[in-house]
Chain A
Amino acid sequence: MTSIGNDIVALQCTDPKRTKQKRFYSKILSPEEIEFFKSNGFQTLSFENFIWLAWSVKESVYKFHKRHQRNISFAPTKITINEFQLPSKQNDLHLSHAAEGISFKRQSCYSCEVRHDSLTFYTRSFVTGKLIFTVANDTECFNNVHWGLKEISEDGYIMQSQEVRNLTINKLRKIFLTDEISIEKSELGYPVIAQQKSIPLSFSHHGKFVGYAFVLNETVA
Chain B
Amino acid sequence: MNPVWNAIKNGARRGWTEFLYSVKSPQDQGFFLFTTAVMLGYLFLNRNNEVTFGDAVVMYPTLALPSLMGALIAFGMVIGVAYGLAMERENGTLLRSKAAPYGVVGHATGQVVASVMSLVPSIGLLAIPGILLFGDAFTLGGWGKALWVIALGTLATLPIGMVIGATVPGVQKVGTWGMLPFFAIVSISGIFTPMQALAPIFRGIAQVFPVYWIGLGMRSAFLPSSFAAFEIGESWRTLETVAVLGIWAVVGLSLAPPLFRRMARRQSGSAVQQAREKMMQWVR
Q: Does chain A bind chain B? A: no
